[in-house]
Structure 1
Amino acid sequence: MRGRALPLTLRLYRGASSAAALLAPAWLSYRVRKGKEDPARLAERRGRASVDRPDGPLVWVHGASVGEVISVLPLIERLDARGFRVLLTSGTLTSSRVAERRAPPGVIHQFVPLDARGFMARFLDHWEPELVLIAESELWPNLIAELGRRGTPVVLVNARLSERSARRWGKLPKSARALLSRVDLCLAQSEEDAGRFRGLGTHRVEVSGNLKFDTPPPGADPADLQRLSRAIGKRPVLLAASTHEGEEEMVIEAHEMLVSKIPDLLTIIAPRHPERGEEVAALAQSGDLNTRQRSLGELPDRETDVYVADTIGELGLFYRLAPIVFMGGSLVEHGGQNPIEPAKLGSAVLHGPHVWNFSDTYERLDAEEGAFVIGDALGLARAVYALQKDEELRGHTIDSAYATVTALGGALDRTLAAIEPYLIQIRLQRR
């Protein structure tokens, strides 16, 4: 990149991905059938824009999925307020809906193209961004190569690289160095992340902190909150948030253990992928549990054991109703989900051992007694029972969680300060 020959592995990848692009229509059709693509916007996945490029300086911000998009929204708001037009891309249906609801009105959302050489070239020919901000760890070879060929500055924001990912890249050191040496600036979440990026050949690395700590907690419709609160009444509530396949069974098992001691317990399960709502409801019903689904417009009543929250963008509503939250993706080997939002909204956090996606955050929460580790259904049941019955323990845990995540803020200002030279350069070029 930038005139240097690519390593053989990356040349092979570029050739293979170009050949695979011929199969893109079949692959995208399959994903449409699975409910993972918007059939009206498939052309975007092949690099064909669905709207015109706006006039003026354009900053392209990319976040892979919901978490990344939410984390960069405050940054996008700041850029928008300063007069920069923003193109926001993501790769999932759910993230596109979050962008539609929460991004500033002038922000353009597109689905990121599949990482094929022709798709990326077509995309960049149309949009011609002056600066590219890539959230976290989206290092697609054709994307980086095309940007390098055009000399477009690339900044990794909120960058993270798990030990597992670093080991994988470490097996291809020349490829990792060829990609990461093209990155103009890497703004890492932590010193550990920064060290991994430097070790793989990233030239300029700074620690800016985690943007997720500066993201406002998700909102909730006041009318919906009132309706649900009235329906639940004074019942104790356990929320299992962003659960993955294999975890719902453990949550249901924990509920069955708990009802002998907390007979009026309501367990709310919010699957990470809402389209799994029927599957989750069927699991609960197979255990003879009275179950209702949010997506069907149902509210829990006094007989409801499990309420399946299978809608998009309503976690803020359920966090406000649940003083105890189990964060999913952590009892299975997924890497955990973001605990910052429930901590900001007054919940005690429980999680499994597999939290490498947010390892620093969970370590701080655990150390400050704002969260607790559980290993299985029995551990979950015991922790919920202890927190439910001991008001002092629950209050201490909630207060500690809030204090911990609040103290870790400031990444947004540091990120803006770091990219300021690029923004000034864009202004000067436009003049």
Structure 2
Amino acid sequence: MSPLSRLALGLYSALTWAAQPLLRRKLRRRALAEPGYGLRVAERFGHYGDVPVGGHPAPAGPLVWIHAVSLGETRAAAILLGALRQQLPGMRLLLTHGTATGRAEGEKLLQPGDVQVWQPWDTPGAVARFLRHLRPAIGILMETEVWPNLIAACRAQGVPLVLANARLNDKSLHQAQRMAWLARPAYAALAAVWAQTEADAQRLRSLGAPVQGVFGNLKFDVVPDAAQLAQGRAWRAPLPRPVVLLASSREGEEAMWLENFKPNRPPEQAHRALPAINNEANGAQDTAANASVQWLIVPRHPQRFDEVAQLLERAGLRVARRSQWADGPDAQADVLLGDTLGEMALYYGLADVALLGGSFAPLGGQNLIEAAACTCPVVLGPYTFNFAQAAELACAAGAAQRMPDMAQAMQVATALAHNATALAQAQDAAAQFAQAHRGAAQATAQAVAALLCRDPMALG
């Protein structure tokens, strides 16, 4: 590391150390709404108490550390973990997170001998205590998580640290370039980077990252929960109206939806948004596309479930919450509200068409691949920079359509849900699209195993 890089890292370390009281205060505030943020706070500062030294009281297979900061990264980590357990029999998992939803989801992945703790705050002391206490054989950072002190300490202690399922959009690249004095040494010190797309790889290389492969997106390897999917489809069958889902909606998007929602009123000219298929199908559109649909909204973050329910009810809508369904959704409700975690396969099974949350506000879009794996076609908004290539490929394959705003997206989704021919074609396209891009999990697991084999001591 050059003298300038050491100076930059020292300044950064001083700032992260000074910010610790602010972090504690933020955690206390977050814990009021999400109690998970109040659990085991000392772990965030490198104090692990009763956590077994080395991750387990007795030697076994290698301790493979995966850092999945939040819910989406944890779901991607779950896909990778299945391939890793096959590739490395006897491995033990060390799983770290930054958010309460990520940690709650991660608990489902643990097996005997595995360990789950909070990510250490990126000060030299907390990071040193983390590595000294838990002693991982290798570290896997998911998608975008680059922490300068963590990377520098792993390199100094000989712990290979990689960035898997890596992505970097233009906005993040420009931010990193503005702090190149800190970002470039951090990216360059990684042991390997495996990118989702060639465009991601080029942006990462421009920051000095050692990109060793473009493996695709792990989320293409998702296998939807078969029981949930079947339950959703069983609940869909008796409903008198098609179901259109606003999936993983983010703050502000439900209000956009409300502005354009007209209960029991047909969306005017909706059928014009669909391309012509044939005269017979178009004739069906003229009458069917104007019929009403059953709307289902699933907010992305659980802390917003009550907020969204109140927003809808204040607008005079009758809301049926998933947590209160007995034998299925209430067909008389104006809006169905998905207020549970871990049931997206059920919601996609229940839906005929989905609008992609996070894409109607400048938030980059949520994961459209899960919808495709459930054979649910998607209508996108204008903002999909978090899944730019996947969105382009999905649109090219006919698994998705892009609209410039919520109003037109709602019209197109409603029209598609009522056009049996177009809907069947879009569902087939979604299934083929999801299947065509699988394989990232196996490639990543093999690359991790190869890195471990370079250091036999790491295998335990």
Deviation at 1:314, TM superposition (A): 1.1
Aligned residues: 429
Deviation at 1:4, TM superposition (A): 6.2
Q: 1:286 aligns with which of 314, 317, 323?
A: 314
Q: 2:255 aligns with which of 249, 259, 264?
A: 249
Provide closer, same or farther for how the CA distance between residues 113 and 243 of structure 1 changes in structure 2, counting only shifts above 3 A: same
Check the 8 A contact 2:378/2:399 in 1, yes or no.
yes
Q: In the alignment, does 2:184 pair up with 1:184?
A: no
Deviation at 1:310, TM superposition (A): 1.3
Deviation at 1:358, TM superposition (A): 0.4
2-side partners of 1:336 and 1:312: how far apart? 19
The answer for unaligned runs of 5 or more in structure 1 is none
Check the 8 A contact 2:244/2:414 in 1, yes or no.
no
Check the 8 A contact 1:342/1:349 in 2, yes or no.
yes
Q: 1:350 aligns with which of 364, 368, 379?
A: 379
Provide closer, same or farther for how the CA distance between residues 429 and 221 of structure 1 changes in structure 2, counting only shifts above 3 A: closer
Check the 8 A contact 1:221/1:317 in 2, yes or no.
yes
- With a CA cutoff of 8 Å and minimum separation of 6, indicate the structure with the bigger relative contact order: 2
Q: In the alignment, does 2:214 pair up with 1:207?
A: yes
Counterpart AA for 2:304: R
- Post-superposition CA distance 1:367-402 (Å, at most 9, x none): 122101122232022202320222111111111122
Provide closer, same or farther for how the CA distance between residues 300 and 266 of structure 1 changes in structure 2, counting only shifts above 3 A: same
TM-score (norm 1): 0.92
Provide closer, same or farther for how the CA distance between residues 268 and 42 of structure 1 changes in structure 2, counting only shifts above 3 A: same
Counterpart AA for 2:139: V
1-side partners of 2:111 and 2:397: how far apart? 36
Q: In the alignment, does 2:65 pair up with 1:60?
A: yes
Q: 1:71 aligns with which of 69, 76, 81?
A: 76
Provide closer, same or farther for how the CA distance between residues 417 and 224 of structure 1 changes in structure 2, counting only shifts above 3 A: closer
Check the 8 A contact 2:148/2:182 in 1, yes or no.
no
2:64 counterpart SS class = strand
1-side partners of 2:153 and 2:355: how far apart? 42
1-side partners of 2:435 and 2:459: how far apart? 39
Check the 8 A contact 2:229/2:374 in 1, yes or no.
no
Provide closer, same or farther for how the CA distance between residues 344 and 259 of structure 1 changes in structure 2, counting only shifts above 3 A: farther
Aligned to 1:27: 26
Q: In the alignment, does 2:338 pair up with 1:306?
A: no
Check the 8 A contact 1:73/1:103 in 2, yes or no.
no
Check the 8 A contact 2:220/2:434 in 1, yes or no.
yes
- Post-superposition CA distance 1:190-244 (Å, at most 9, x none): 11111111111123432111111112224544896488447x6233111111100
The answer for unaligned runs of 5 or more in structure 2 is 268-289
- Post-superposition CA distance 1:34-65 (Å, at most 9, x none): 31634232222222225212133211111111
Q: 1:390 aligns with which of 419, 423, 428?
A: 419
Aligned to 1:51: 51
Check the 8 A contact 1:114/1:120 in 2, yes or no.
yes
Q: 2:85 aligns with which of 75, 80, 85?
A: 80
- Post-superposition CA distance 1:397-422 (Å, at most 9, x none): 11112211211111122212322322
2-side partners of 1:315 and 1:368: how far apart? 23
Aligned to 2:279: none
More displaced, 138-147 or 332-341? Answer: 138-147
Deviation at 1:5, TM superposition (A): 5.7
Sequence identity (%) = 35
Deviation at 1:29, TM superposition (A): 1.2
Provide closer, same or farther for how the CA distance between residues 223 and 320 of structure 1 changes in structure 2, counting only shifts above 3 A: closer
1:86 counterpart SS class = strand
Provide closer, same or farther for how the CA distance between residues 78 and 410 of structure 1 changes in structure 2, counting only shifts above 3 A: closer
Provide closer, same or farther for how the CA distance between residues 414 and 128 of structure 1 changes in structure 2, counting only shifts above 3 A: same
TM-score (norm 2): 0.87
Check the 8 A contact 1:235/1:266 in 2, yes or no.
yes
Deviation at 1:342, TM superposition (A): 0.9
More displaced, 353-362 or 392-401? Answer: 392-401
Q: How does 1:6-405 map to 2 (within 5 A)?
A: 6-35=5-34, 37-49=36-48, 50-52=50-52, 53-54=55-56, 55-56=59-60, 57-81=62-86, 82-104=89-111, 106-221=113-228, 225=232, 228-229=235-236, 233-256=239-262, 259-260=265-266, 264-296=292-324, 300-405=329-434
- Post-superposition CA distance 1:310-353 (Å, at most 9, x none): 11111111111101011100001111000011111121101111
1:37 counterpart SS class = helix
Check the 8 A contact 2:364/2:387 in 1, yes or no.
yes
Deviation at 1:423, TM superposition (A): 2.2
2-side partners of 1:164 and 1:218: how far apart? 34
Counterpart AA for 1:410: G
2-side partners of 1:335 and 1:117: how far apart? 32
Provide closer, same or farther for how the CA distance between residues 287 and 422 of structure 1 changes in structure 2, counting only shifts above 3 A: same
Check the 8 A contact 1:18/1:116 in 2, yes or no.
yes
1:347 counterpart SS class = coil
More displaced, 178-187 or 43-52? Answer: 43-52
More displaced, 13-22 or 295-304? Answer: 295-304
2-side partners of 1:226 and 1:321: how far apart? 5
1:320 counterpart SS class = helix
Check the 8 A contact 1:348/1:397 in 2, yes or no.
yes
Check the 8 A contact 1:184/1:204 in 2, yes or no.
no
Check the 8 A contact 2:266/2:292 in 1, yes or no.
no
- Post-superposition CA distance 1:133-167 (Å, at most 9, x none): 11111001221122122221111111111111111
Runs of 4+ in 1 over 6 A off after TM superposition: none
Check the 8 A contact 2:319/2:334 in 1, yes or no.
yes
Check the 8 A contact 1:61/1:135 in 2, yes or no.
yes
The two structures, once aligned, show a CA RMSD in angstroms of 2.4
